Every structure is written in structure tokens, then in C-alpha cells.
Amino acid sequence: MFTINWVERGRESEPIVTEASGLTNISKLVAACKQDLYRMRVLYTDMPPDGFILIDHEGREAQRWFRAPPPIA
């Protein structure tokens, strides 16, 4: 079991929201979270997450993923 911390780049220690996941396969969970990122950005418009950090059952970071930053104008 994993915990998903939805975070903003540069503020990873301050999750916007934390969710529990019943998925045990980390590859499937990463794929599911990538698909859910748009939904999370719509739900949390005041501070939309840029990505997520997966925490394992022992409280250790197992994986992190961030969408590409916007291009510099």
C-alpha cells in the first residue's frame, strides 16, 4: 500500500493533498497518478499540483514524478 502526496515543485515537503492508495504495484500506481494529475489540478485550482510523491508503507519515498515545467518565455 502506498500514500500519494500531491505536490507543487519546490514545495515537496508541503503536500497539497495526501491520499491513500490500495494499489500495490508501483508501476500501475505511477500510471494511474499520471492520469489523475489533470483531475487534481482542476480540484485544487488555488495551488495545483505539478506532480506526486509516492510513500511506501514504511514511510519512505518510493517514487516521485513531475510534469515538465512550462517553457521559459
DSSP 8-state class, residue 15: -
Distance from C-alpha of 29 to C-alpha of 36, rounded to nearest angstrom: 10
pTM score > 0.85 for this model?
A: yes
The pLDDT of residue 37: 96
Give the torsion sign (CA, 42, 24, 12, 71): negative
The pLDDT of residue 73: 66
Residue-range domain boundaries for the chain: 2-66
The pLDDT of residue 68: 82
The pLDDT of residue 72: 74
For 12-64, write each residue's pLDDT tens digit.
999 999 999 999 999 999 999 999 999 999 999 999 999 999 999 999 999 99
